[in-house]
Structure 1
Amino acid sequence: MHVAPARTAVVVAVLVAFCATLLTGGTASAAGRGKDGLTGYAFDARCAPTQEQMDAWLASSPFWGVGVYIGGSTASCRTTATDPGQPHLDATWVATQRSRGWRVLPIWVGPQASCQTTYGDLIDANPAGSYAAADARGRAEATAAVTRARELGLPSRTTLWYDLEGGFDVANDDCRRSALRFLSGWTSALHANGFRSGVYSSVSAGIHALDNADNISAGSYEMPDQVWYAWYNGRADVDIDPQWVRGSSWEGERIHQYEAHTTATYGGVALTIDRNFLELDGGSPAPRSTRACGRTTVDFGSYPRLRAGSKGDRVAALQCLLRKNGRYRGRLDGTYDRDVVRAVTSYQRRHDLRRTGKADRATWMALFAQGSGPLMKVGSAGESALRLQRALRASGARSVKPTGVVDDRTAKAVARFQRRVGLDTTGVVTPETWVALQTGAR
């Protein structure tokens, strides 16, 4: 998936025919969203890495998604006399990655646009029957991809991605239309087989052509559910340039390949990859509520040292946290009385904190962080993300907002905390990081 960068200019006639229509009409959207929304980072390499490599990157890289070629006539990683192909890719590999939290992005690379000059297998550009040959080939490729996906144990509703390399001439009517008809056939056949459709291409070629076709002649082609666009601007986001694609098209269903063919090292393992940022199935879902004890507020800009006699909303927050941790049964009245002193002392004793009866920074951190310790990185969401963000904020990371979704700001705060307490500075929340937070390490 190493396509040429998005072109900055095309034939004037194409701009008139296509780009002038971008701001009108409906927008392309997904047929349906999955339950596991994710906003975060993904990588794709030439072939599926070994399990050891995947495990090293799971614990130390920012990535939750991994793109892998599963087949097709023009895919790399096909077994030849000189290429071992995909020796690691089988149903066990896929099941293992999925069980460990990876979002596997299966990619199929078959025939390319008819006006491409660097591929041997091309889409038939014969316009007969509204490009019937291209449509039939798209359906056949989808059927083959579904067969392979099922062999690999990928469940129904998985998005199968067609890689239509960019760099082809969108001003060539037969080339563009046959590619669109091919992709329409691909999508239609995937839907018929219970899978979702994704298309990878350059933002200025395949994705541009799809969006304009949907805008100019809605319903003429069946649109993919998700898009993966190459646009090498170095920005890790899913923003789009309205010069090429309408801003609301595939909103919440995009992957942006923003850097190509770079060598990255995580956990001592180097791989040559493309970097991507994704927002799929509407993105990582924030918790419905960030409240901890009914209407009691626990989120503040700072958490000062509290002692007997203190009063106010921060004391009420402390009482709330002590109650959640089974140390306090009194009212959340905002008064630091003898019962609160006893509860704080009891909590400190139980968690090997300095027993003072005072709510210091270490006690606040530990109270917020207490609980399970799942691996977390950008895109992780839910109650554990809230606990993480609140513990970091209590440690002094005021830039972190308790949203319940781990973002880049949270990951940077994690890295700063890890550096301060002598852990590997990855920005990935490992079990060791949780222990440091839960014991109020400084």
Structure 2
Amino acid sequence: MRANLHVNLHRPARLAVVAAVVVAFCATLLTGGSADAAPRGKDGLTGYAFDARCAPTQEQMDAWLTSSPFWGVGVYIGGSTASCRTTETDPGQPHLDATWVSRQRSAGWRVLPIWVGPQAACSAYGDLIDPNPAGEYAAADARGRAEATAAVARARELGVASRTTLWYDLEGGFDVADEDCRRSALRFLSGWTEALHDLRYRSGVYSSISAGIHVLDNADNLSPGSYAMPDQVWFAWDNNRADVDVDPRWVRKDSWEGERVHQYQLHTAATYGGVPLTIDRNFLELDAGSQAPRTLLACGRTDLDLRSYPRLRTGRSGDAVKALQCLLRKHAGYRARLDGRYDAQVARAVTKFQRRHDLERTGRTDPATWTALFARGSKPLMKVGSSGDAALRLQRALRASGPRSVKVTGVVTDRTTRAVARYQRRLGLDATGVVTTDTWKALQTGAH
């Protein structure tokens, strides 16, 4: 995936593109042709992904799972232009099979399957989209459908489930002002999308923001309905910014909101867990992104997110005590009213919790007790994009352990992982920012 990012349209060429697309729109009003709705996606995610073209070994994937910021991995699954060969006798993709895909999904990876077939007619690749305009570029449409059918067959061999997005890699570096080249590419991608929808998969397109993605957005803007649009886009824009913001010179700000991947750094060497790979770095927001819990309140309407978590003892009262009572109800069998008063029952429940979790048994609530109370529960692997109850527990435990800079949202962000790395560093753990079992154990024992 090496999209050329230096395509530019001067004003006369832009006007020619606009005129051509308007003509296409008028023709489409006569012929119709909108695609069926795409199958719905699920499991929204906002976070980091990498693509290395060829599937890494299982050992490499395992090392990166627990030490890198990435949740997503892009991998070529086939197509005439896809190759992992280093020599003519190299079979290519020696590690990619259904077992590999299943293992990554079970571990928590989001696999992004990429198909690399014929390229734009005016590009320099060997296999090209047919630019013949006959029948509204019927040959290009048919080829797009055939590529989608082949991609689905391969995806099914690999155990890639329906409703998954299959990504078509249309490399940049082609002349978007060349009408037949541009329109045949659009018709090809439209056929790809319609065929995928018919086969119950979702459609994604990878290309340069200033080439393929710009052409798609321009067509959708000026002639809506002329072409079936992909459900998600993956745009190459080597600006070193890990976000999904687009350049309005090329793509409208509201196009594919919540359904974008940004390839922001190309062909870079990276090492995680002592394992080096050469990768492209991506930031993604797919299926509307990672979602925060509906409410941050607990025990009915109790607010657990205080400005500070003070030391408490018998005789104290207020919101902090009420938050403590709520946590004790969840983790220490406290059954009395949440009245905000630190009485003998609260002290006994605190002592009970401290005894169960190897904390100093004082009956008083200190930072270690707050941290352990918030962290109690399962110990899932967490990185940027992780969300839900575990994210709330993590963020609250980090706040209780010392730094107040952690914002409690229920979605792990870069800010959260920086706080995790600081916490790990203080305790002598590997400061990866990835929340592993060791980090959870430290939090659940009140280490701070």
TM-score (norm 1): 0.95
2:59 matched to 1:52?
yes
Kept after mapping to 2: 8 A contact 1:199/1:228: yes
Aligned partner of 2:97 among 78, 81, 90: 90
Contact 2:85 2:91 in 1 (8 A): yes
Deviation sequence 1:103-147 (CA, Å, 0-9, x none)? 000000011101112x11111111111111111111111111011
Structure 2: where are the runs of 5+ without partners? Answer: 20-24, 26-34
Task: For 2:447, give the aligned amino acid.
Answer: A
1:421 to 427, 431, 448: 427
The answer as to whether partners of 1:32 and 1:225 remain within 8 angstroms in 2 is no
Residues 233-252 of structure 1 mapped to structure 2, 5 A cutoff:
233-252=239-258
CA distance in 2, matches of 1:411, 1:84: 39
Question: What SS class does the counterpart of residue 417 from structure 2 fall into?
Answer: helix
By how many angstroms is 1:388 displaced?
A: 0.5
**2 CA distance for matches of 1:328 and 1:113?**
67
Residue matched to 1:13 = 12
1:262 to 268, 273, 279: 268
Q: Percent identity?
A: 77
Asked if residue 41 in structure 1 is aligned to residue 24 in structure 2, the reply is no
| 8 Å CA contact 1:79, 1:86 repeated in 2 | no
TM-score where L is the length of structure 2: 0.94
Which of 139, 143, 152 in structure 2 is aligned with 1:137?
143
Conserved? CA contact 1:6–1:231, under 8 Å: no
Could you tell me how far apart the structure 2 residues matched to 1:307 and 1:19 are? 72
| Aligned length in residues | 436
Cα contact 2:38–2:201 (8 A) shared by 1: no
* Structure 1 residue 14: Cα displacement: 3.3
**TM-fit CA distance, 1:406:** 0.6
Task: Quote the residue 1:69 is aligned against.
Answer: 76
1:110 aligns with 2:117: yes
Counterpart-to-counterpart distance in 1, 2:410 and 2:258: 18
C-alpha separation in 1, matches of 2:409 and 2:89: 50
- In structure 2, the partner of 1:357 is 363
- Gapped runs of 5+ residues in structure 1? none
The question of whether the paired residues in 2 share the 8 Å contact of 1:362 and 1:440 is answered with yes
1:370 aligns with 2:376: yes
| Residues 176 and 215 in structure 2, CA contact (< 8 A), matched pair in contact too | yes
Matched letter for residue 428 of structure 1? V
- How far the C-alpha of 1:17 sits from its partner, in A, is 5.5
Aligned-partner SS, 2:66: helix
Moved more, 72-81 or 423-432: 72-81
Partner SS state of residue 205, structure 2: strand
Counterparts of 1:433 and 1:89 in 2: how far apart (Å)?
A: 32
Instruction: Give the Cα–Cα distance (whole angstroms) in 1 for the partners of residues 51 and 331 of structure 2.
Output: 42
Aligned Cα root-mean-square deviation (Å): 2.0
Quote the residue 2:182 is aligned against: 176
What CA distance in whole angstroms lies between the structure 2 residues aligned with 1:361 and 1:4? Answer: 53
Q: 4+ residue stretches of structure 1 with deviation over 6 A? A: none
Shift of 1:401: 1.6
Residue 52 of structure 1 aligns to a residue whose secondary structure is helix
Q: 1:69 to 1:209 in 2, by over 3 A?
A: same
CA distance in 2, matches of 1:204, 1:91: 35
Number of the residue aligned with 1:215:
221
